[in-house]
Amino acid sequence: MERHFQRDLEHLKSNVIKMGSMVEQNLTDALEAVLKNDAVLASKVISSDGKINQFEIEIDNGVVDLLALQQPVASDLRLILAIQKINNDLERIGDHAVNIAESAFRLVETPQDEPLLEIPNMSNIAKEMFQQALDAFIHLNAQLAQSVLESDDRIDALNRGMNAQVVRMIKKDPKSIEGGLELLRISRNLERVADLTTNIAEEVIFHTQARIVKHHAAEEKQKQ
Amino acid sequence: MNELKTKIRVENFNFYYDKKHALKNISMNVPEHRVTALIGPSGCGKSTFLRSLNRMNDLIEHTRCDGTVVVDNVNIYDEAIDVVELRKKVGMIFQRSNPFPKSIYDNVAYGPRINNIKEKKQLDEIVERSLIRAALWDEVKDDLSKSGLALSGGQQQRLCIARAVAVDPEILLMDEPASALDPLATTKIEELIHELKEKYTIVIVTHNMQQAARVSDFTAFFYMGEQIEFDETKKIFTMPGKKQTEDYITGRFG
């Protein structure tokens, strides 16, 4: 006999997936706005963030109801706890997409002869990571989630490289200072997106394998 | 809450066991096609209140009551009320399953037969439909002549539910319907309650607060004969309005 609790839990999960798709769209649009100097697309991202925030509240309420009324245990409990954190991560990623869209706006207003340096590269990696993390959640695929964790180092390295590249760019052409600072902002936002995406992947592993991987928890415990 | 139709309207209802004032000025609108749970410590009056909804307390000597209980615009304490008809409309499931020492078929057909349904084909239909609604049909359809007492505890309770729904009630009162059952049988009863509310209005008394949380849409908390709080179950279990309710459901009572 299927419990109505299972249907409620599926509904909650599908809401997270819907929210994830909205965040993915906003992230993609924000980066597209940067790459193509598209102010219209940037303003679309900014205006649709409210819907994501609404979703966050709805999912929060769903989590509280299921915890309070259904007393979930084991994998059901882990899924609900994972959803609560993923919900938070998604909302934050949505905020970073807005930050990137705001940078895109400012870049449209500044002279456009400076190169975007590593931004296109970082964008591709961050988008791919996000898609994989969401897929891993949809299909509860811990292996896929694991591969997201491994991509995070690439973004971190590129972000660190951006500092030196922007400094060089500004030294070469002091007029590029505004654009250069904007690129650093975007880079930092992408680095945060990748971190939050990593959190989502960690939550998928927690739910599917009951294993805590954040902060390299297993290795730390072994050391002790 | 406004858009829900009220099935039972209780107003200023008082109940006395001799000199003991067991229910004090209870008012409550029980919504149609929803599950309303009554919770509270032993002796708080919740079972008395439940039994007041189909006048089962009439059978107890030295009791009296005042105030009104209105079911579908009819005051059930009106002198002109036919109590047998009332109990047909407002069925009851008890804590201990109490099938008659008869076959499964005869248990379910009992009520309809009393109501003068004699034709075999019609009875067959009612028995099948009632057992399906009680989620028991698949388990017993091959041997309806088996004694109701030969079933497991959980099956017996579902048989009692089938027997109750066989006379087409509109309201089902349940007094601790799963307290004598193991966790799996309890889950089945709880899921059944969830399905039954599509057709019936359900009022359930339970000692098990988690059960009230799982199965009900509305919850009333009773304490010492008073209704302390009545609200959506979601609200009661996440943001109760009264400290007494909070203390009771969090186990900090007394």
Whole-number CA gyration radius for chain A: 19
Is residue A203 predicted with pLDDT exceeding 90? yes
Which fold would CATH assign to domain B6-249?
Answer: Rossmann fold (3.40.50)
The CA–CA distances, whole Å, from A179 to A36, A38, A93, A122, A166 equal 15, 15, 23, 17, 9
Put simply, the answer to whether A1 touches B238 (Cβ < 8 Å) is no
Q: What is the structure's pLDDT at B2?
A: 52
pLDDT exceeding 70 applies to what percent of chain B? 99
- Give the number of other Cβ atoms within 10 Å of residue B250's Cβ: 11
pTM of the model: 0.87
To the nearest whole Å, the CA of B195 is away from the closest chain A CA by: 9
Structure tokens that stand for B209 in this block: 């607060």
To the nearest whole Å, the CA of B233 is away from the closest chain A CA by: 8
Put simply, the answer to whether B135 touches A1 (Cβ < 8 Å) is yes
State pLDDT tens for residues A116-170: 999 999 999 999 999 999 999 999 999 999 999 999 999 999 999 999 999 999 9
- Taking CA–CA distances from A72, the nearest residue in chain B reads B214
To the nearest whole Å, the CA of B249 is away from the closest chain A CA by: 11
Is residue B189 predicted with pLDDT exceeding 60? yes
B64 bridge partner residues: B16
Q: What is the structure's pLDDT at A1?
A: 62
ipTM surpassing 0.85: no
- Secondary structure E strands in chain B: 6-17, 20-31, 35-39, 63-71, 74-75, 90-93, 171-175, 201-205, 218-223, 226-232
The CA–CA distances, whole Å, from A124 to A129, A184, B56, B163 equal 9, 17, 71, 65
Structure tokens that stand for B246 in this block: 């909070």
Mean confidence (pLDDT) of chain B: 94
Pairing of strands B201-205, B218-223: unpaired
| Nearest C-alpha neighbor of B128 from the set B160, B105, B161 | B105
Q: Are B40 and B247 in contact (CB under 8 A)?
A: no
DSSP conformation letters of B205-233: E-S-HHHHHHH-SEEEEEETTEEEEEEEH
The shortest CB-CB distance from B234 to any of A2, A69, A71 is to: A69
From the candidates B216, B237, B239, B249, which should be mutated to test the interface with A, based on the most A CB atoms within 10 A? Answer: B237
pLDDT band (50, 70, 90) for residue A213: confident
pLDDT band (50, 70, 90) for residue B168: very high
Pairing of strands B6-17, B63-71: antiparallel
DSSP conformation letters of A193-218: HHHHHHHHHHHHHHHHH----GGGHH
- Between chain A and chain B, the number of residue pairs with CB atoms below 8 A apart is 28
In chain B, what residues touch A4 (CB-CB under 8 Å)?
Answer: 191, 194
> Once rounded to an integer, what is the mean pLDDT over residues A200-204?
95
State phi, psi for A5 to the nearest 5 degrees. -55, -40
Domain borders along chain B are 6-249
Q: Quick one: residue B41, left, alpha or beta (phi over 0 = left, psi -120 to 50 = alpha)?
A: beta
Residue for token pair 């680095």: A191
The shortest CB-CB distance from B214 to any of A1, A64, A70 is to: A70
Q: What is the structure's pLDDT at A218?
A: 62
State pLDDT tens for residues A35-86: 999 999 999 999 999 999 999 999 999 999 999 999 999 999 999 999 999 9
State pLDDT tens for residues A91-103: 999 999 999 999 9
